[in-house]
Chains A and B, each alone.
Chain A
Amino acid sequence: MDLPTFLIQLLNAVQYGLLLFLVASGLTLIFGIMGVINLAHGAFYMVGAYLAFALTGLTGNLLFAILLGIPLAFAFGALLEWLLYAHLYKRDHLEQVLLTYGLILIFEEGRSLLFGDDVHGVDVPALFAASIPLTDTLSYPVYRLVISAACIALAAGLFLLIRRTKLGMVIRAGSHDRDMVQALGIDIDRTYRIVFALGVALAAFGGMLAAPVSSVYPGMGNQVLIISFVVVVIGGIGSVTGALVASLVIGLADTFGKVLVPEYAGLAVYLVMAAVLLWRPEGIFRRG
């Protein structure tokens, strides 16, 4: 592999890793703060992608679809928390696994009823439809660079939210001691609802961004879910920084695995995880 090719593959890897971060960050927040293992998180990614597909058809442009889709996803998340997840906080992990597994089935079939089982494409917005020539044979689609930029902006926003705002403070405090926060007169239920809806919106946003690149297809959430689990395990539960680092590590392992050892590409990601487990069983950035 010569240097330009290596750099382009590096770009592919980072871009994949950043997209993964959008899904995994929501997952790790929900894990870390509310102690809920949410198998349906991949389904939110899928919901986002199908939202992008439906709304692009309606408005004619993916950008409008995303602007409309994010509040929709947030509201959907808040509703779901109120209806179902709020009942899960005091239950054991087993019941959480089961309920959210049931939700996956419901989301998948709901998707099948609403959209059928065909694979759909979503057009890249005309604004970003161009490609930039990188080598004599290869051009790089602008939209892929836009995805990365959007992910970086969002990651920065998330860090600011957690480190610098009052909500972030409550989130951080709440993950350590729920009862104490409540005793201080802070409405923890509301905080939980916001965090959960935020996680859903992040995953859905990831799905919307990825829709033109990955297509929109049945079962698309499952693959993302399990890789996100790996990210959370490597990064450490509840750590957004850990999720970012781990996402990039997984992006690298996956992309270079595909190119260098195609037979074992699927395994590469899990081997990285096994190595981390041996080294630090609770993730690289484990907390307290």
Chain B
Amino acid sequence: MDDRSSGANAVQMKMPSTTTRPARPAIRRPATKPRGDQETDKGGRQGPLKPLEKLGAVSVPQPKTNVHTITIVGQIEGHMVLPSQNKTTKYEHILPQLVAIEESKEIEGLLVILNTVGGDVEAGLAIAEMVAGLTKPSVSLILGGGHSIGVPIAVSTDYSFIAPTATMTIHPIRLTGLLIGVPQTYEYLDKMQDRVIKFVVKQSKIREERFRELMFNTGGLARDIGTVLVGKDAVSEGLINAVGGIGEALARLHGLIKAWKMETGRPSGAKVSADPGQPDLPAVPAFQSPTGGWQQ
């Protein structure tokens, strides 16, 4: 309908210069019609049956979305399967999905939705690093809660949102299992903590000292040390970019996709990778240097 009406407008506008245009449809019609009529006449009632065949088709072509979403819910499950009362998000599900999103030609953006109580450090950091490494625009939205290891995942995207009522708990990592009372135990714990802190500081606007301060704050939690940040507190601390909901998050994501397409010169959909043929790979290191060490 749109085509026809716009075509009619175009004809009307061009009328003064091309006077033969309006007559064309009238000429074309008699040329095409008899052919069709002959075929249907030969086949008896084939003509009217043809549209009926099409009624059987069930698949209606749907408009494809260019934004995919990943939900991180409950406990983030690591190398051990947690007991069944836990609702979990498994990294073996999420990681391949992220690879597929990065590789897909149709998908242009990722929305990460979080409502998590934390979970395995390794699995959480693996997901966060994958999201941070995506070349496509990504936006996260925290609803309900994005606690503990949910914090690095929340800040791993290009832009992050938190619902006004959502909370983020920042607290120290705890060790479980057999603990040996030696200074090395503390050093190990500190190292694990640093992995999380370094990632969050790198990905957000919060300063390291401030993040540590929030983490070791006393009086903020009833049974633990740490801080609970509600909605806008997370934004004012520089951890999250803005307070918002699904509407804001998707609007921001579509904006990022637009900017990213302009930047990369990517047409809608297909990636314009002119097959690099690996020219940018670093040179293979020299086999062995005179000093016996490896040299770049």
Q: Are A and B associated in one complex?
A: no
On B, residues with C-beta under 8 Å from A are none
Question: Which residues does A use to contact B, with CB under 8 Å?
Answer: none
